């Protein structure tokens, strides 16, 4: 199954690497930073262009002509980031540029990454409105990278869109892809690298904290979110006033190497950073989407594209059937089973429009071979679920919100 992808704001190639590992074909990539494009080309080859993605009139027709099945990318996040000034300006407007390019090219799928704060921004509200008007159902999930094969508590907003879907169509599958425990630095060290000898011997490491956060972690923890200054040594004011929860003094903790920070972000040890300068490499690493996280999300998307998964029945649909329709427990189980059966027949696809959903299932060969009574039961169950879903108060505890709550407890 071939899914052709164009990546916008590709940076050094973290998202492309993860998606390639999952099985996507990257047909084009764009970024404004020439040094990042150089690193991308050196490691991933293929067509990567330096381009100003604000130039919608130039880039839009180019992307549309490629006819991608998916557009992905992480628009600049500094205007939203906790490490930035959080004043929405030109960089925040790039989120709207991303949405415009999706609307111009109209791929079946899109995947956007940003910091969690972006979800409450005006830029995302405007971008979201454009995407919804263009017919995309949206899954908006805040994911913790440490539960997706990355030894880092990096929390990011991922928005996955698919034409014609109901909102939250992929949330339960993203939740199911989580590991039961967060990945630790010790797990990363299972494949020892020469740089790791000091870190393994000391058993604790220092990373520059956010504001008043903790600076020292042990190997049995995940690293905090990587930023450009992660590998800086402790400053005098931190040494004089360490965080009370530091497991060892910062002066005795290991200082991370650039290679270790790149591995914490999920890059392979043989990734070549070209001759672009150490500070630029630190920035590229910090900006990147961790490849294992991109791969995990890519696997979820491809599984749904291939009809291998279906969305879980959400919320209190069964309770609603009992309270409003007088269904017995057995009848509730049957109704849920029929919704799932119908979704399997539809290849896991949901529909923003109920009439289209019923029309689609009528066109499925396997459905038409079923007995008349069975077809009627499946239609009825789909209508009931659609009726329940249409009431906003019934959808308060969606899977993406559950994921965010669980991750907040685990952080």
In Å, how far are 39, 46, 263, 295, 381 from 42, measured between CA atoms? Answer: 5, 9, 18, 20, 53
**Cα–Cα distance between 259 and 101 in angstroms, integer?**
35
Active-site annotation holds for 77:
yes
**Cα–Cα distance between 366 and 401 in angstroms, integer?**
35
**Cα–Cα distance between 186 and 222 in angstroms, integer?**
9
**Cα–Cα distance between 407 and 355 in angstroms, integer?**
37
What is the DSSP track for 161-224? EEETPPTTTTHHHHHHTS-SS---HHHHTTS--TTHHHHHHH-EEE-PPSTTS--EEETTSPBP
**Cα–Cα distance between 410 and 146 in angstroms, integer?**
10
**Cα–Cα distance between 211 and 377 in angstroms, integer?**
58
- Token pair of 161, please? 């869109």
Residue 204, C-beta contacts closer than 8 angstroms, at least 6 positions apart: 216, 217, 218, 219, 247, 248, 252, 253, 254
Q: Tell me which residue of 165, 173, 109 sits closest to 141, measured CA to CA.
A: 173
- Token pair of 306, please? 């291939």
DSSP helix/strand/coil, 157: strand
Catalytic residue among 10, 72, 77, 103: 77
Count of residues in the chain:
411
- Token pair of 160, please? 């996955």
In Å, how far are 19, 20, 381 from 25, measured between CA atoms? Answer: 8, 6, 38
**Cα–Cα distance between 96 and 92 in angstroms, integer?**
8
Are 141 and 297 in contact by the 8 Å Cβ rule? The answer is no
What amino acid positions are annotated as catalytic residues? 77
């Amino acid at each position: 199954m071939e899914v052709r992808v164009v990546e916008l704001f590709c940076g050094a190639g973290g998202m492309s690497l993860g998606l390639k590992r999952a099985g996507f074909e990257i047909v084009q990539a764009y970024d404004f930073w020439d040094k990042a494009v150089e690193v991308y080309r050196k490691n991933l080859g293929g067509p990567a262009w330096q381009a100003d993605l604000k130039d919608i009139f130039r880039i839009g027709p180019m992307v549309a002509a490629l006819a991608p099945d998916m557009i992905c990318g992480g628009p600049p996040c500094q205007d939203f980031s906790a490490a930035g000034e959080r004043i929405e300006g030109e960089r925040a407007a790039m989120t709207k540029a991303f949405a415009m390019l999706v609307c111009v090219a109209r791929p079946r799928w899109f995947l956007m990454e940003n910091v969690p704060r972006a979800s409450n921004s005006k830029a995302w509200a405007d971008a979201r409105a454009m995407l919804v008007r263009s017919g995309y159902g949206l899954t908006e999930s805040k994911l913790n990278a440490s539960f997706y094969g990355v030894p880092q508590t990096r929390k990011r907003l991922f928005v996955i869109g698919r034409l014609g879907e109901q909102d939250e169509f992929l949330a339960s599958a993203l939740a199911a892809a989580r590991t039961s425990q967060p990945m630790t630095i010790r797990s990363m060290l299972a494949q020892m690298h020469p740089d790791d000898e000091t870190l393994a011997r000391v058993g604790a490491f220092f990373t520059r904290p956010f504001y008043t956060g903790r600076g020292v972690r042990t190997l049995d923890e995940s690293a905090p979110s990587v930023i450009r200054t992660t590998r800086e040594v402790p400053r005098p004011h931190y040494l004089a006033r360490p965080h009370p929860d530091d497991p060892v003094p910062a002066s005795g903790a290991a200082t991370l190497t650039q290679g270790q920070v790149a591995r914490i972000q999920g890059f392979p040890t043989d990734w070549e950073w070209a001759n672009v300068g150490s500070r630029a490499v630190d920035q590229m690493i910090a900006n990147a989407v961790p490849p294992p996280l991109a791969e995990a999300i890519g696997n979820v998307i491809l599984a749904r594209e291939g009809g291998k998964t279906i969305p879980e029945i959400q919320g209190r649909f069964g309770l609603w059937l009992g309270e409003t329709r007088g269904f017995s427990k057995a009848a509730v189980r049957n109704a849920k089973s029929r919704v799932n059966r119908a979704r399997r027949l539809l290849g896991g696809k949901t529909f923003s429009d109920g009439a289209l959903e019923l029309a689609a299932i009528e066109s499925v060969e396997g459905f038409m071979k079923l007995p008349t009574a069975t077809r009627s039961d499946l239609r009825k169950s789909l209508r009931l679920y659609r009726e329940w879903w249409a009431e906003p108060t019934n959808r308060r505890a969606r899977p993406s919100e559950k994921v965010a709550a669980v991750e907040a407890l685990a952080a």
